[in-house]
A and B are shown apart, each in its own frame.
Chain A
Amino acid sequence: MSTAEERVAVTAAPVAARPRGLRTLGLFRNELVVTFRRWRTLALFAILAGIPVVVGIAVKIETSDGGTAGGEGGGPAFISQITNNGLFLVFTSLAVTLPFFLPMAIGVVAGDAIAGEANAGTLRYLLVAPAGRSRLLLAKGWAALVFCASGVLVVTVSALATGSAMFPLGDVTLLSGTSISFSEGLLRALAVAAVVTVSLIGVAAIGLFVSTLTNSGIAAMATTVGLLITVQILDTIPQLHAIQPYLFPHYWLSFADLVRDPVYWDQIMRNFGLQGLYLAVFGSAAWARFTTRDITA
């Protein structure tokens, strides 16, 4: 893989002269460039950007005869409000992509982070540079988080563009029935995007940990995505309600609480705490594994 060698050259040469902080920054920047230059990443973004368009068109067709989308409260969250206000397409799109598309994309990127390099035989070159394993892992982790935020932003921007093109915009009626101005609604949409990004931290941490366990990028991706699906299924079985509050997707839909008036923080805070917990446990596990394992590839 030529990009990795290129990167080694970039990091290795000037590194000795630079202070440590800058070295991490350089590593991080390189990770970002490598991640976002991949065709795979761009394809994932294209899929994510396409979903709001599909949802928008579907709602437009369904309501073209004057009916309401979703009927008696069916369908994904917020879908019945899209015809009132295009801004709700942002919330619907995030509710649609959050259970699967977004975490799958993160699983692919995070799962591939270390294992992919090992698979391609480029990991040892990366470690030849005196950057250190902890800092390499940190850079990989940050790149994964930036990817989370970018994925969410792609969905948000695409939904906003589609929503404003197809549906009326204006004052936003919140779930509680009170109205706020459109600009305030836009702020809430951004806050929702931020909460959704935070919601994905748990998956990213698990993906990174799995990635340090194996030398096969595909295996790491498959494990992460498989785990994601399994946990989502466990989260729907009523008999398992005792463990459900500790499953990482359990509070994902809590972003909807930002669209209430007043904002209902209870579940959002739990979500933050849970994601922090997963980050701490799986992040430290990834670090422990990565800094102690034998790198043979």
Chain B
Amino acid sequence: MAPMDPTTDHDPADETSTLRRGKTVRLLVPVGVAGVAAATIGLVPALASSGGSPHPDLPKTSAEKLLTKLAASDVQTVSGTVKITTDFGLPGLLGGSASHARGGSPFGPGPDASKAASEIAKSASSADPSFKLTELVAGSHTLRIAADGPDRQRVSIVEDAAEYSIIHSGDEVWAYDSGSNQAYHAKAPAGHGKHGKAGDERGRLPEGVPTTPSDFAKQALKTVGPTTSVTVGSTTRVAGRDAYRLVIKPKQSGSTVGSIVIAVDADNGAPLKFTLTPRGSGKAAVDVGFTDVGFAKPATKNFRFTPPKGTKVTEAKDRPREDHGLPGGPLNGLGNRLEGFNAVGKGWTTVAEFKLPGGGLDGSVFKEDGKDVPGGLDPQSLLKSLGDKVHGDFGSGTVINSRLFNVLITDSGKVYAGAVTKDVLIAAADKS
């Protein structure tokens, strides 16, 4: 054996011991490599997330100054990658059907849900933006955005080996779904979007779920009032940029919102990250932030789209604009049929109150224009499986819980909903 071994060029006397020692050392090499790799994997995320100093030294600022900075921010051009993670803790079926368009895993939505979803999908083009954007309600998604002033923006949802893009340039809006090779085309209404704040950059895109940090920030700022505490938190780094953290907390008890944190770019005041954490929970319900951002002017070709040959193009019908506010897919149009809509309470504990169409739980809410939505869902048993039975002065009803929103549906057909605790909903029901 010995002559065949390359390690033994020495005296035959040393041979055996050298060989044995060499053997042990060599066998340790792969173990060492694996160990170093494991240690690196353990350490790198911690280092990468901090990206140097986790709390950069920035001049002190007040909440008011920071708000002004945020509002006055005049960032016209931006491009980057946005990571959006939502975890509302929706009951399984709802979450499942919201993410139907990914096809679902073998362990995903049950046959009923996916069947209903695919029926719904057939009724609309899969490239229809208001439909597609509802996907963002569940799970984690990567978006890539680019904006050049109020007239040209694009947003892409990165999918496995496919991408869904909405491209707005001038008065043209294109949506392109590379997965199904379908496109959607609409003319943006003229005269809209003249005000060119960064926060409005998606203003002329078909509205749906807010997707950029600016949208979320604006929404949160609307609710700032006497019911709210606004403070400046510790500094942070987002996508390699120094940022202040604006911490917004409801003062009222009864709200399920724990805190809203907006990371504001220390340099230009652009919102970089938005985090909404439910009360009494460490994990964010909504987390939208840039993982990569640049404020240089994006290339013009980013906003140009010509449907490739063979692509099926759906032209938008002249839809009334009110419709856009409710990106409910199958629930679109439900809003028109709601009777007695009423907002109860103030600030963070506002409860929306309305009547189910048709009075009671006879299932008519699950019908579209008199026809059953396919899938064979029995509303009564569905409700029972999703919620808990509650009783109060109002009678009895079912509460559907999620981490952020709670909904009370009384047996008499009234609905109370809000980002509030169950007790607030019951109190609101008792009062009316």
Contact A73 B26 (CB under 8 A): no
Judge if B76 is at the interface, Cβ distance under 8 Å.
no
| Interface hits, A68-125 → B, CB 8 Å | 68, 70-74, 77-78, 80-81, 83-85, 95, 124
In the complex, which residues of chain B have a beta carbon less than 8 angstroms from the beta carbon of A289?
Answer: 27
The 9 closest A-B pairs by CB, nearest first: A77-B161, A285-B30, A80-B181, A256-B161, A132-B6, A73-B179, A173-B308, A175-B163, A73-B180
Residue from B7, B154, B308 in contact with A84 in the complex, judged by beta carbons closer than 8 Å: B308
Judge if B41 is at the interface, Cβ distance under 8 Å.
yes
Report how far A260 CA is from B5 CA in the complex, Å: 51
| Interface hits, B287-338 → A, CB 8 Å | 291, 301-302, 304-312
Contact A288 B310 (CB under 8 A): no
Q: CB-nearest residue of chain A relative to B101?
A: A73
Judge if A150 is at the interface, Cβ distance under 8 Å.
no
Binds B, one of A32-40, A176-184, A221-229: A176-184
CB distance from B95 to the nearest CB of A (A): 13
Interface residues on B, range: 35 or more
CB distance from A276 to the nearest CB of B (A): 9
Report how far A179 CA is from B306 CA in the complex, Å: 8
Are A134 and B6 CB-contacts (below 8 A) given A238-B105, A295-B1?
yes
Are A72 and B29 CB-contacts (below 8 A) given A175-B163, A291-B6?
no
| Interface hits, B104-153 → A, CB 8 Å | 105-107, 118, 121, 126, 142, 144
In the complex, which residues of chain A have a beta carbon less than 8 angstroms from the beta carbon of B304?
Answer: 178-179
> Which residues from chain A sit less than 8 Å from chain B, CB to CB?
68, 70-74, 77-78, 80-81, 83-85, 95, 124, 127-128, 132-134, 168, 170, 173, 175-179, 236-238, 246, 253, 256-257, 260-262, 264, 266, 277, 280-282, 284-285, 287-289, 291-292, 294-295
Report how far A70 CA is from B181 CA in the complex, Å: 9
CB distance from A271 to the nearest CB of B (A): 13
Contact A81 B181 (CB under 8 A): yes
| Interface hits, B7-55 → A, CB 8 Å | 7, 22-23, 26-30, 33-34, 37, 41
Judge if B4 is at the interface, Cβ distance under 8 Å.
yes
Report how far A168 CA is from B176 CA in the complex, Å: 21
In the complex, which residues of chain A have a beta carbon less than 8 angstroms from the beta carbon of B156?
Answer: 176-177, 260
Contact A77 B30 (CB under 8 A): no
Report how far A179 CA is from B161 CA in the complex, Å: 17
In the complex, which residues of chain B have a beta carbon less than 8 angstroms from the beta carbon of A280?
Answer: 33, 37
Can you list 5 A-B contacts (CB < 8 A)?
A68-B312, A73-B101, A80-B180, A84-B308, A175-B178
CB distance from B123 to the nearest CB of A (A): 12
Q: CB-nearest residue of chain A relative to B158?
A: A264
Contact A81 B1 (CB under 8 A): no
Judge if B177 is at the interface, Cβ distance under 8 Å.
yes
CB distance from A235 to the nearest CB of B (A): 12
Q: A176-B178, A236-B105, A260-B156 are in contact. List 5 more A-B contacts (CB 8 A).
A: A173-B306, A177-B165, A177-B305, A178-B305, A236-B106
Report how far A160 CA is from B391 CA in the complex, Å: 68
Q: How many A-B residue pairs have CB under 8 A?
A: 135
Report how far A70 CA is from B156 CA in the complex, Å: 21
Residue from A83, A260, A281, A292 in contact with B26 in the complex, judged by beta carbons closer than 8 Å: A292
In the complex, which residues of chain A have a beta carbon less than 8 angstroms from the beta carbon of B154?
Answer: 176-177
CB distance from A170 to the nearest CB of B (A): 8
Judge if B167 is at the interface, Cβ distance under 8 Å.
yes
CB distance from B304 to the nearest CB of A (A): 7
Report how far A292 CA is from B81 CA in the complex, Å: 49
In the complex, which residues of chain B have a beta carbon less than 8 angstroms from the beta carbon of A133?
Answer: 5-6
In the complex, which residues of chain B have a beta carbon less than 8 angstroms from the beta carbon of A95?
Answer: 161
CB distance from A78 to the nearest CB of B (A): 7
Contact B26 A287 (CB under 8 A): yes
CB distance from A254 to the nearest CB of B (A): 9
Residue of B142, B179, B291 with highest tally of chain A CB at under 10 A = B179
In the complex, which residues of chain B have a beta carbon less than 8 angstroms from the beta carbon of A287?
Answer: 26, 29-30
| Interface hits, B67-90 → A, CB 8 Å | 81
CB distance from B296 to the nearest CB of A (A): 12
In the complex, which residues of chain A have a beta carbon less than 8 angstroms from the beta carbon of B178?
Answer: 80-81, 175-177
In the complex, which residues of chain A have a beta carbon less than 8 angstroms from the beta carbon of B126?
Answer: 72-73
Report how far A292 CA is from B20 CA in the complex, Å: 9
In the complex, which residues of chain B have a beta carbon less than 8 angstroms from the beta carbon of A261?
Answer: 301-302
Judge if B160 is at the interface, Cβ distance under 8 Å.
yes
Report how far A238 CA is from B163 CA in the complex, Å: 22
Report how far A238 CA is from B109 CA in the complex, Å: 13
In the complex, which residues of chain B have a beta carbon less than 8 angstroms from the beta carbon of A294?
Answer: 1
Judge if B162 is at the interface, Cβ distance under 8 Å.
yes
In the complex, which residues of chain A have a beta carbon less than 8 angstroms from the beta carbon of B142?
Answer: 264
In the complex, which residues of chain A have a beta carbon less than 8 angstroms from the beta carbon of B416?
Answer: none
In the complex, which residues of chain A have a beta carbon less than 8 angstroms from the beta carbon of B162?
Answer: 73, 77, 175, 256
Judge if B216 is at the interface, Cβ distance under 8 Å.
no
Report how far A78 CA is from B30 CA in the complex, Å: 39
Residue of B41, B163, B167, B307 with highest tally of chain A CB at under 10 A = B163
Judge if B405 is at the interface, Cβ distance under 8 Å.
no
Judge if B196 is at the interface, Cβ distance under 8 Å.
no
Contact B158 A68 (CB under 8 A): no
CB distance from A283 to the nearest CB of B (A): 8
Report how far A285 CA is from B31 CA in the complex, Å: 8
In the complex, which residues of chain B have a beta carbon less than 8 angstroms from the beta carbon of A175?
Answer: 161-163, 178
In the complex, which residues of chain A have a beta carbon less than 8 angstroms from the beta carbon of B41?
Answer: 246
Contact A168 B167 (CB under 8 A): no
Judge if B379 is at the interface, Cβ distance under 8 Å.
no
Contact B309 A284 (CB under 8 A): no
Judge if B174 is at the interface, Cβ distance under 8 Å.
yes
Contact B144 A264 (CB under 8 A): yes
Q: CB-nearest residue of chain A relative to B106?
A: A236
In the complex, which residues of chain A have a beta carbon less than 8 angstroms from the beta carbon of B305?
Answer: 177-178
